[in-house]
Amino acid sequence: MPSALKTIIFPVGDLASAKGVLAALLGSAPVVDQPYYVQFNDGEQEIGLDPNGASKGMTGPVPYWHVSDIKQTLHDLVASGAREDQPINDFGGRLVASVRDADGNPIGLIQPA
């Protein structure tokens, strides 16, 4: 199950403000700029801003591992003791899900298109 920690998504209350701060930090414009999600790329790192994150239960940034088989990875994590947090959903052509480990830490999964 080769994977890479490549994406981090922050829940934000004020998308416009958060977008401005991240643009100033990275010195670039977002590569995705929608009312429901904004994404910046810094090299191979993806930094996302989710204005609906809090309503999805996000209490802070969530690291997302890019995996080749999200169904199998999710199954393996749950079998090892993780608790499914967000079921698999199609988000912009990518499959996304998350679990929480025994300490409640979020682990996100993305299967790139």
- 17-29: per-residue pLDDT in tens? 999 999 999 999 9
Total count of domains within the chain = 1
- pLDDT at position 2 over 70: no
Q: What residue numbers bound the domain in which 50 lies?
A: 3-111
pTM score, two decimals?
Answer: 0.88
The type of residue at 102 is: A
Give the mean pLDDT of 88-94.
92
What's the CATH number where 81 sits? 3.10.180.10
- pLDDT reported for residue 76: 97
Average pLDDT score, the chain: 94
At 1 the pLDDT is 47
Least confident of 25-29, 91-95, 99-103, 105-109: 91-95
